[in-house]
Amino acid sequence: MRIGFIGLGNMGGPMALNMIRAGHSLTVYDIRRAVAEPHLAAGAKWADSPAAVAADSEVVFTSLPGPKEVEEVATGEGGILSKLARGAVYADLSTNAPSVIRRIGTEFKAKGIEVLDAPVSGGIPGACDATLAVMVGGNRAAFEKIKPTLDAIGDKVTYVGENGAGAVAKLVHNMIALCSTQLLAEAFTMGIKAGVSPEALLKVVQDGAYGQGMLLKGTMPRMVFRGNFDRVTFTLKLAKKDLGLATEVGRELNVPMPIASMVEQDFLAAIANGLGDKDMTVAVTVQENRANVKIRTAEPAKSTR
């Protein structure tokens, strides 16, 4: 298949490279041509616009910051819809609003084009290593058609349901992950203020039932050890965007979500303090300031043995 890929940022860039390494022929586009240099060196073709990508492709993927950008690239002037042929497939890998991807799906369907929402999870490391989880919503036959390409970027590719189901699944996942981090911050500030060291708390929680089976091992170390906020796996501003999409769905469906709404406010407070480009765990500093106690400590030296 002739594949188009639009959006070569921290996530899209590695995903597109992994598609090329898997033997797929790509036409690529990004608003910054320089980020496409590794792809062009690997054999990809450059296109000057989303429409030019679509004109040269049977399947088009996008990996973009959010719903506004996806809608503009998909259906705006000079967008994918203007040139993608009947029978083609458009798959959005971004974290998107279910209402937006469903609206896009309806517009594309009217021209005989299937739309899949296929958001991914695993962060930059997963994008680089092709170990992403991919959550796909849309037409089942279209999913089966492009699954070999999705297998090039992730080892956990799941068909979730109809158009929009993938977007919903991603928001559920991210809401749990993002809000859990702030709950950890609340628990740790209490424990530290009560006299227990952050290193000891980290060890006992990791060793306990929660840490053994329910805890993502990377979250608490990034929260506890100083300096790790600059080792970005997922920026706070993107985390705020994703959590905001989840609370928006809650409002649309009249689902009370008080914890998620409170965490969203913490994220906004941290962003207002200029921390939006740090790792999303930097939002724990909001709770540190409330409790007047620091969780973070010096990272232990790595063993040379």
Give the whole-number percent of the chain exceeding pLDDT 70.
Answer: 93
Nearest Cα residue to 266 out of 251, 248, 281 = 281
pLDDT tier for residue 213 given thresholds of 50, 70 and 90:
low
C-alpha neighbours within 13 Å on the C-beta side of residue 12: 26
Superfamily designation of domain 2-163: NAD(P)-binding Rossmann-like Domain (3.40.50.720)
DSSP, collapsed to helix, strand or coil, labels residue 279 as strand
Catalytic option among 83, 170, 240, 278? 170
Contact call for residues 117 and 164 (beta carbons, < 8 A): yes
The reply to whether 170 belongs to the active site is yes
Please, what is the average pLDDT of the chain? 92
So where are the chain's domains?
2-163, 170-291
Overall fold of domain 170-291: N-(1-d-carboxylethyl)-l-norvaline Dehydrogenase; domain 2 (1.10.1040)
pLDDT tier for residue 176 given thresholds of 50, 70 and 90:
confident
pLDDT tier for residue 303 given thresholds of 50, 70 and 90:
very low
pLDDT tier for residue 209 given thresholds of 50, 70 and 90:
confident
pLDDT of residue 226: 60
pLDDT at 237 over 60: yes
pLDDT at 218 over 90: no
* Beta pairing, strands 59-62 & 89-92: parallel
What single-letter DSSP state applies at residue 304? Answer: -
**Fold match between 2-163 and 170-291?**
no
Tokens of 231: 């080792």
pLDDT at 196 over 80: yes
Distance CA 74, CA 79 (A): 5
Contact call for residues 75 and 81 (beta carbons, < 8 A): yes
pLDDT at 304 over 50: no
Going 118 to 119 to 120 to 123, the CA torsion angle's sign is positive
Residue 123's CB: how many other CB atoms inside 10 A?
16
The one-letter code for the residue type at 100 is V
pLDDT of residue 184: 84
pLDDT tens profile 251-276: 999 989 999 999 999 999 999 999 99
- Identify the residue whose tokens are 């200029």: 274
Distance CA 95, CA 110 (A): 24
Nearest Cα residue to 150 out of 91, 108, 194, 202 = 91
Give the DSSP H or E segment for 155: strand 154-161
What single-letter DSSP state applies at residue 303? Answer: P
pLDDT tens profile 77-111: 999 999 999 999 999 999 999 999 999 999 999 99
C-alpha neighbours within 13 Å on the C-beta side of residue 104: 34
Mean pLDDT for 35-40 is: 98
pLDDT tens profile 150-162: 999 999 999 999 9
pLDDT tens profile 106-154: 999 999 999 999 999 998 999 999 999 999 999 999 999 999 999 999 9
- Identify the residue whose tokens are 């992994």: 18
pLDDT tier for residue 215 given thresholds of 50, 70 and 90:
low
pLDDT tier for residue 305 given thresholds of 50, 70 and 90:
very low
